[in-house]
Amino acid sequence: MKKIGVFTSGGDSPGMNAAIRSVVRTAIHLGMKPYGIYRGYQGMVDNEIVEMDAFSVSNILQLGGTILRSARSEEFRTKEGRAKAYKNLKKHGIDAIVAIGGDGTFTGAKVFSQEYRDIQFVGLPGTIDNDLMGTDYTIGYDTAINTAMSAIDKIKDTANSFDRLFFVEVMGRDAGFIALRAGIATGAEAVLVPEMETDIDALVKKLRKNVARRKNSAIVIVAEGDDAGGAFKIAEQVKAKGFEDYEMRVSILGHLQRGGSPTCMDRMLASRLGMEAVKALQAGVSGVLVGKKCKDIVYTPFEKAIKNKQKLNPLLLEIVEILS
């Protein structure tokens, strides 16, 4: 193996640049030529592939987003599109790829590597949702929960000043990891996640108890994928159940959770996994997600990583209930 490609795909996450830097510099250290593939699979189809050197990844460790950019690619979903991508990779002599992303990224890698077996693929878990099987934490998750926590702390200041009930929506279309940890860290009265059915009556009962205890504010954290329809709809339902006179506000944190300078934990995780991914390719490993569990580096086949989701710890839900 002489030449290795790296790309980022799907939603960006803080720490992706640190992972790119690690892959590039580890490849150079091991005597390989690294190539950056811009805009994910679409860049592979369009031949947006450039050779990188140590200077290419200088001073990016602290940057959010991804210098290689990201994009969705309908063309790559077709056999013709994948054939174009393969032709471009072979044109550059690339025989191994590090794919940084989530479920969709690894699904594409699995299909491509089944069709073209002479190109190795390994994946790095780059997503703020932390829902991938095969790693305790994904690259970007720690930064995202700290960003959410900081924003909610600020919202709580104004909630306390005006005796308000705030519904704060955080990212998490299919998983409630951000909502749950941010909720515990900020002392939220309730946390609503996709993994649990939302009981509006129970929520109202809890909020009434807060009023009876003369708490001067309340925060309800809602993951965007909650089954009740998100923060605005939940606020409307709560208001309709006897909270008409209570001052309510809804805040959607949105994409600010994806941005910002990565935390030390995310930089360390990305750097470690980037190095391990290149070493895995050098050892002939292919078709796996490279993750970290209990301080150990583990390989999880793409098939297993895609089909299985990391599950919420029920103890964390109990903590919310007890400490609120």
Which residue in the list 129, 131, 142, 226 is annotated as catalytic?
129
Separation between Cα atoms, residue 143 and residue 202, nearest integer Å: 32
Q: How many domains does the chain have?
A: 2
* pLDDT tens figures, 24-71: 999 999 999 999 999 999 999 999 999 999 999 999 999 999 999 998
* pLDDT tens figures, 209-252: 877 676 667 899 999 988 888 899 999 998 888 777 678 889 99
Q: Which CATH number does the domain housing residue 146 bear?
A: 3.40.50.460
Q: Could you tell me the sign of the dihedral formed by the alpha carbons of 282, 287, 291, 293, in that order?
A: negative
Average pLDDT in the chain:
92
Q: Say if 247 falls within a structural domain.
A: yes
Cβ contacts of 277 within 8 Å, gap of 6 or more = 23, 98, 122, 123, 124, 290
* pLDDT tens figures, 172-187: 888 899 999 999 999 9
* pLDDT tens figures, 130-169: 989 899 999 999 999 999 999 999 998 887 777 778 999 9
Q: Which CATH number does the domain housing residue 280 bear?
A: 3.40.50.450
Which pair of tokens denotes residue 220? Answer: 């309800």
Q: Are residues 124 and 198 in the same domain?
A: no
Q: Are residues 252 and 275 in the same domain?
A: no
DSSP state of 171: S
Q: Say if 276 falls within a structural domain.
A: yes
* pLDDT tens figures, 76-97: 999 999 999 999 999 999 999 9
Decide: residue 196, CB within 10 A, 0-12 exposed, 13-18 middle, 19+ buried.
middle
- Can 118 be counted among the known catalytic residues? no
Q: Say if 8 falls within a structural domain.
A: yes
Amino acid at 11: G
DSSP H helices in 102-253:
103-115, 141-162, 177-186, 200-212, 231-240
For residues 149, 154, 155, 160, the Cα torsion angle rounded to the nearest 10 degrees is 120
Strand partners of residue 139: 126
Task: Give the structural domain span for 125.
Answer: 3-140+262-307
At 143 the pLDDT is 97
Task: Provide the whole-model pTM.
Answer: 0.92
At 1 the pLDDT is 66
